[in-house]
């Protein structure tokens, strides 16, 4: 499907357009057309067999039982066995092949979704709860998979059986058919009544599950925060409210949908009584045979079952479509803007950075940065200081082009970063952040994340330069010690050393450093300072500084307040100015003394 079309359908999706979503599911399904055709062929065979069975029984009654012909009965019995065997085999194969269709489709859906998630720009993730996204990926896709697995075949076979049954019934006795069919409006009305109520309930149910999973994820990842602030009771209360909401939605969705089989059963028995009664009168008047009554009684049951199934599947289908809709919404999200057509790769830059009157806001808010202008010479260290929320981190975010500017330009080695491919721009940058990202894996692999092609020797060398080698060696399995994803096995300071090692390995031209705020023991602190010195040597470094005594050596200090640079200079110059920096410095000195 063309990108244009995909976008158009995506828009419709947001309005809850079922046709659009079904169309898109079809695009996925059509990739396994061959297998799907086989499934449909098997469904046709099994539906025909289920029509033929009762028909043969009826014939047996009229032609052989009434006339006492044993040979004929045996022949028909053999025929019946073959028909039912055929039915079983075709049902088995249709399920077998359908699993292939469903799994293949869902595999591609998951792939597209994950792919898109990787391409999305940072602002997308700012706006959403991580747990809710996780729920979409797992729950909604599971839903689509289950429905494809179970509902698809049932829907086709129900439609075929319905059509076939009515056709044969009409051929045998139009009058009795008419009488049997009077039950249909009753059924349709009953089903409509129920599904009108279950549809929105199932949608709500899915939404509530998403919310609840989001909340669980949040509380698990923020467990220590909840404990620290003694918010366990609030968390339990909030969870309770969500859990109750979910119970209510699930309760009513299940209750209403549970009515369907009961109602169908009742109508089924009614129609059996009607057919037996009226059929009997017709037979007495020689208008039909007893065999036909038997066929009709059996067909009437066969006839209500697919209707029943269609109604049941309708609900599952609705919830799967709602799930698919949400998945497609993500797939349709605009990915991080493409690089300009003529964007260039950069390679080994010298590291000169220039901000020219940069203004920026996150979304609709007021400007977070206002006319920020500064210049960093290659190899220099620049420190960003200022109160929390002043915009220090924002400057580093813009430098890595995570967000687009509202106004102004950022130049690296004289080139506007908008004319450089994002990939090569980010390759030139290294990050040592407060909250360094560690993943479940060995220390070796965690450091190697900086440069995947690095050999074990290079990793160990980088760890040595980062003063991390000695602590790693003391770990139970050395470099092969497996770290947990939240990095809870090692200390904050050790985490920093690992991320410095990672940055050394990646050897960037520009370094972005978010100094740790948490207190680290003096020895580790010295090790970190020393390792940073190695790392920052000959690289342009932008340091988000929290403690002013660590940045005295910086070539330039930019003092930010409310998104504006209010002072600029070296430590000594700024102290002499006796301005904001002077006050900040002395207040921090007082705090630490
Ligand atoms: P600093 O690093 O100096 O503490 P930041 O650059 O992180 O400050 O934040 C500057 C301002 O931008 C703050 O008011 C903050 O609330 C806001 N901000 C930061 N990140 C985002 C974001 N992802 N979305 C919206 N607003 C943000």
Tens digit of each residue's pLDDT (9 = 90 or more) over 469-501: 988 998 888 999 888 766 667 888 888 888 889
pLDDT at residue number 549: 65
Rounded Cα distance between 466 and 443, Å, is: 14
Mean pLDDT, rounded, for 191-211: 83
Does the CB atom of residue 396 touch ligand 1 within 6 A? no
Say if CB 315 and CB 143 are below 8 A apart: no
Q: How confident is the model at residue 93 (pLDDT cuts 50, 70, 90)?
A: very high
Last residue of a domain, one of 279, 296, 331: 331
> How far, in whole angstroms, is CA 139 from its chain's centroid?
8
Rounded Cα distance between 520 and 426, Å, is: 29
CATH for 389: 3.40.50.300
CATH for 62: 1.20.1560.10
Give percent of the chain above pLDDT 90: 28
Mean pLDDT, rounded, for 394-411: 90
Span from the CA of 384 to the centroid of ligand 1 (angstroms) = 14
Based on the domain organization, do 240 and 296 belong to the same domain? yes
Based on the domain organization, do 149 and 284 belong to the same domain? yes
pLDDT at residue number 100: 92
pLDDT at residue number 15: 41
Residue nearest to atom 23 of ligand 1 (CA): 126
Return the residue matching tokens 């803007």. 337
Span from the CA of 561 to the centroid of ligand 1 (angstroms) = 12
CA end-to-end distance (rounded Å), the chain: 67
Residue nearest to atom 7 of ligand 1 (CA): 393
Which residues fall within 8 angstroms of residue 225, CB to CB, at 6 or more apart?
A: 231
Rounded Cα distance between 94 and 37, Å, is: 10
Higher pLDDT, 260 or 13: 260
Mean pLDDT, rounded, for 261-269: 82
Q: Is the pLDDT of residue 70 over 50?
A: yes
Domain total in the chain: 2
Mean pLDDT, rounded, for 274-299: 90
Last residue of a domain, one of 280, 296, 331: 331
Based on the domain organization, do 272 and 364 belong to the same domain? no
Q: Is the pLDDT of residue 240 over 90?
A: yes
Mean pLDDT, rounded, for 365-377: 90
Based on the domain organization, do 50 and 137 belong to the same domain? yes
Q: Is the pLDDT of residue 6 over 60?
A: no
Domain membership of residue 140 (yes or no) is yes
Residue nearest to atom 11 of ligand 1 (CA): 389
Span from the CA of 366 to the centroid of ligand 1 (angstroms) = 11
Q: Which of 274, 309, 354, 333 is nearest to 117 (CA)?
A: 333
Does the CB atom of residue 364 touch ligand 1 within 6 A? no
Q: How confident is the model at residue 458 (pLDDT cuts 50, 70, 90)?
A: very high
Based on the domain organization, do 295 and 374 belong to the same domain? no
Domain membership of residue 339 (yes or no) is no
Q: Is the pLDDT of residue 382 over 90?
A: yes
Q: How confident is the model at residue 517 (pLDDT cuts 50, 70, 90)?
A: low
Residue nearest to atom 13 of ligand 1 (CA): 389
Which of ligand 1's atoms lies nearest the C-alpha of 394? 6
Does the CB atom of residue 394 touch ligand 1 within 6 A? yes
Higher pLDDT, 165 or 587: 165
Rounded Cα distance between 568 and 584, Å, is: 14
pLDDT at residue number 304: 72
Domain membership of residue 344 (yes or no) is no
Residue nearest to atom 27 of ligand 1 (CA): 362
**Three-class DSSP labels, 487-521:** CCCCCHHHHHHHHHHHHHHHCCCEEEEECCCCCCC
Based on the domain organization, do 232 and 306 belong to the same domain? yes
Q: How confident is the model at residue 11 (pLDDT cuts 50, 70, 90)?
A: very low
Tokens in use for 134?
A: 């996780």
Last residue of a domain, one of 269, 299, 331: 331
Span from the CA of 252 to the centroid of ligand 1 (angstroms) = 43
Domain membership of residue 24 (yes or no) is yes
DSSP notation for 388-433: TTSSHHHHHHHHTTSS--SEEEEEETTEEGGGB-HHHHHHTEEEE-
The best mutation among 370, 388, 393 to test binding of ligand 1, ranked by most ligand atoms within 8 Å of the C-beta, falls on 393
pLDDT at residue number 4: 37
Based on the domain organization, do 367 and 296 belong to the same domain? no
Higher pLDDT, 86 or 426: 86
Does the CB atom of residue 391 touch ligand 1 within 6 A? yes
Give percent of the chain above pLDDT 70: 95
Which of ligand 1's atoms lies nearest the C-alpha of 563? 10
Q: What is the mean pLDDT of the chain?
A: 85
Mean pLDDT, rounded, for 212-217: 88
Domain membership of residue 357 (yes or no) is yes
Based on the domain organization, do 317 and 376 belong to the same domain? no
Domain that holds residue 21: 3-331
Span from the CA of 571 to the centroid of ligand 1 (angstroms) = 25
Which of ligand 1's atoms lies nearest the C-alpha of 123? 23
Q: Is the pLDDT of residue 592 over 70?
A: no
Higher pLDDT, 165 or 319: 165
Burial class (CB in 10 A: 0-12, 13-18, 19+), 127: exposed
Q: Is the pLDDT of residue 123 over 80?
A: no
Based on the domain organization, do 319 and 381 belong to the same domain? no
Mean pLDDT, rounded, for 91-111: 92
Q: Is the pLDDT of residue 2 over 60?
A: no
Q: Is the pLDDT of residue 452 over 60?
A: yes
Residue nearest to atom 1 of ligand 1 (CA): 389
Does the CB atom of residue 126 touch ligand 1 within 6 A? yes
Which of ligand 1's atoms lies nearest the C-alpha of 388? 4
Q: How confident is the model at residue 3 (pLDDT cuts 50, 70, 90)?
A: very low
Handedness of CA 501, 502, 507, 510 (dihedral sign): negative
Span from the CA of 408 to the centroid of ligand 1 (angstroms) = 19
Does the CB atom of residue 387 touch ligand 1 within 6 A? no
Q: How confident is the model at residue 207 (pLDDT cuts 50, 70, 90)?
A: confident
Helix (H) or strand (E) holding 356: strand 353-360
DSSP structure class, residue 120: B
Based on the domain organization, do 432 and 326 belong to the same domain? no
Does the CB atom of residue 397 touch ligand 1 within 6 A? no
> How far, in whole angstroms, is CA 422 from its chain's centroid?
24
Residue nearest to atom 6 of ligand 1 (CA): 391
Span from the CA of 126 to the centroid of ligand 1 (angstroms) = 11
The best mutation among 362, 372, 397 to test binding of ligand 1, ranked by most ligand atoms within 8 Å of the C-beta, falls on 362
pLDDT tens column, 519-575? 677 788 888 888 888 888 888 999 998 777 668 888 999 999 999 999 999 999 998
Domain membership of residue 174 (yes or no) is yes
Helix (H) or strand (E) holding 23: helix 18-29
Based on the domain organization, do 441 and 523 belong to the same domain? yes
pLDDT at residue number 8: 35
pLDDT at residue number 593: 58
Does the CB atom of residue 392 touch ligand 1 within 6 A? yes
Does the CB atom of residue 125 touch ligand 1 within 6 A? no
Q: How confident is the model at residue 401 (pLDDT cuts 50, 70, 90)?
A: confident
Phi-psi region of 351 (alpha: psi -120 to 50; beta: other; left: phi over 0): left
Does the CB atom of residue 497 touch ligand 1 within 6 A? no
Based on the domain organization, do 10 and 46 belong to the same domain? yes
Domain membership of residue 499 (yes or no) is yes
Which residues fall within 8 angstroms of residue 6, CB to CB, at 6 or more apart?
A: 24, 332
pTM for the complete prediction?
Answer: 0.67
pLDDT at residue number 383: 92
Domain membership of residue 46 (yes or no) is yes
């Amino acid at each position: 499907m063309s990108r244009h079309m995909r976008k158009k359908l995506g828009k419709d999706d947001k309005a809850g357009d079922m046709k659009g979503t079904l169309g898109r599911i079809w695009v996925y399904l059509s990739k396994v057309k061959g297998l799907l055709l086989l499934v449909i062929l098997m469904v046709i065979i099994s539906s025909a067999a289920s029509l033929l069975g009762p028909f043969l029984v009826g014939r047996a009654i009229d032609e052989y039982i009434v006339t006492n012909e044993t040979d004929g009965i045996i022949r028909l019995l053999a025929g019946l066995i073959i028909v039912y065997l055929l039915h079983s085999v075709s049902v088995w194969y249709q399920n077998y092949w359908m699993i292939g269709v469903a799994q293949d489709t869902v595999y591609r859906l998951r792939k597209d979704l994950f792919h898109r998630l990787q391409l999305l720009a940072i602002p997308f993730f700012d706006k959403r709860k991580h747990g809710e996204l996780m729920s979409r990926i797992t729950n909604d896709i599971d839903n689509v998979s289950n429905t494809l697995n179970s509902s698809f075949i049932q829907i086709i076979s129900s439609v075929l059986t319905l059509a076939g049954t009515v056709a044969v019934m009409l051929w045998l006795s139009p009058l009795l058919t008419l009488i049997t069919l009077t039950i249909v409006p009753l059924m349709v009305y009953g089903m409509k009544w129920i599904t009108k109520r279950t549809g929105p309930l199932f949608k709500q149910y899915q939404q509530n599950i998403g919310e609840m999973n989001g909340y669980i994820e949040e509380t698990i990842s923020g467990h220590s925060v909840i404990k620290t602030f003694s918010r366990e009771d609030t968390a339990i209360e909030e969870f309770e409210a969500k859990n109750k909401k979910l119970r209510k939605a699930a309760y009513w969705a299940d209750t209403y949908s549970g009515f369907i089989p009961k109602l169908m059963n009742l109508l089924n028995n009614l129609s059996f009584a009607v057919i037996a009664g009226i059929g009997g009168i017709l037979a007495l008047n020689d208008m039909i045979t007893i065999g036909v009554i038997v066929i009709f009684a059996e067909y009437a049951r066969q006839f209500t079952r697919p209707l029943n199934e269609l109604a049941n599947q309708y609900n599952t289908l609705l919830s799967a479509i709602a799930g698919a809709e949400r998945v497609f919404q993500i797939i349709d999200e605009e990915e991080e803007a493409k690089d300009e057509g003529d964007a260039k790769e950069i390679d080994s830059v010298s590291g000169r950075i220039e901000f020219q009157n940069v203004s920026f806001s996150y979304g609709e808010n007021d400007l977070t940065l206002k006319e920020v202008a500064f210049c960093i010479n290659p190899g220099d260290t620049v420190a960003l200081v200022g109160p929390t929320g002043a915009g220090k981190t924002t400057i580093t975010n813009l430098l890595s082009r995570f967000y687009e500017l509202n106004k102004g330009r950022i130049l690296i080695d004289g080139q506007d970063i908008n004319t450089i491919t994002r990939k090569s721009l980010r390759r030139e940058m290294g990050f040592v952040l407060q909250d360094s990202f560690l993943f479940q894996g060995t220390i070796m692999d965690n450091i190697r994340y900086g440069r995947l092609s690095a050999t074990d020797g290079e990793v160990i060398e980088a760890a040595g330069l980062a003063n991390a080698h000695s602590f790693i060696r003391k770990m139970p399995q050395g470099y092969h010690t497996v770290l947990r994803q939240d990095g809870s096995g090692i200390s904050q300071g050790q985490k920093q050393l690992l991320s410095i090692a990672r940055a050394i390995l990646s050897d960037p031209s520009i370094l972005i450093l978010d100094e740790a705020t948490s207190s680290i023991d003096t020895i580790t602190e010295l090790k970190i300072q020393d390792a940073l010195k190695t790392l920052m040597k000959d690289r342009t470094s932008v340091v988000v500084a929290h403690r002013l005594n660590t940045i005295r050596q910086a070539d330039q200090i930019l003092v930010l307040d409310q998104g504006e640079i209010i002072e600029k200079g070296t430590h000594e110059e700024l102290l002499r100015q006796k301005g904001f920096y002077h006050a900040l410095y002395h207040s921090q000195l007082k705090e630490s003394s």
